[in-house]
Structures are given as C-alpha cells and as structure tokens.
Amino acid sequence: MIVVIQRAAEASVKIDGKIKASIALGLMILIGIEEADGEEDISWLAKKILNLRIFPDENKVMNKSLIDVDGEILLISQFTLHASTKKGNRPSYIKAAKPDIAIPLYEQMVQTLAAGLGKPIGTGEFGADMKVSLVNDGPVTILIDSKNRA
C-alpha cells in the first residue's frame, strides 16, 4: 500500500457536485492498494498514520500526532499511486489491485483508522470520479509505502 499523507487545515471531496465528506484540522490521505497488500499492511500503516508526529506543539515543532490534536481524516482511494511510468508516456496500472481485492482492503483501512481515532473518518467513493479540495497546512506532505517498512 502506498499513502500520500497531507496535513490539512481543511479538505473535502465532492462526487457529482455534492460534498460527500469534509474535514477541518487533520489529514487528507490518498491510498493506493496493490494485489500483494493485506491485513499486515493495513495494521502497520494505520498505526503509523495515527501516531505520525507532524502537527506543531506549543513551540511550533512538529511533535504532535493526529490523536494528540484530536484531528480528522479524509481517506481517498487512488489507484493511480501505483502507476508505472518506466516505458513510454502512458502510465500502466498493472500493479494496482482490482476492485474485488481493493474494495475490502480499503473498507478495512477505513474501519481500522476510525477505531484507532475513536471517531468516524471521511471517505470518498471507491471508483467514483471525485473532486478533492485541500488546504495543505505547512505544506506537509509525506509518502509512505508499506512495502518499505523494514
């Protein structure tokens, strides 16, 4: 799994012109799921996301986690994170998981993050044409690949 984590002052996702979900202070996360991903990736990434110290403390040092600041999460599925651009100019998405694998893993990640945060999280809609808005706070953007955790 690959996630792009962006510290947000606010973020929202629209589908068919209607806001599906929005957050204030928190994390807007894009998640790409590949065929080889499983529960171990979800568990490791969720723990990392919830405890990542990227929010400022009273001295403006990034020393607080999402949990510490009682932040929110907006989680958006994005298969294009697994794009391969090695050959030619048209990306290949062969590593991205098919919906029958990706949807259950995405839903499990939603549940795992919500449980760890102690409140529901905002989501997009798997496979939908979404319009995502973000006020990136900092800006702070971090890329994490669960296959590079060793």
Residues tagged active-site: 80
CA distance 113 to 117: 6
Outline where 14-85 has alpha helix (H): 39-51
Please report which helix (H) or strand (E) contains residue 102, including its range: helix 99-117
Assess whether the previous peptide bond of 139 is cis (omega < 30° from 0).
yes
Distance CA 147, CA 2 (A): 8
Question: How far is residue 102's CA from residue 7's CA, in Å, rounded to a whole number?
Answer: 25
Distance between CA atoms of 105 and 97, rounded to whole angstroms? 10
The pair of three-digit structure tokens given for residue 143, joined into one six-digit string = 């890329």
Tokens matching residue 126: 């798997």
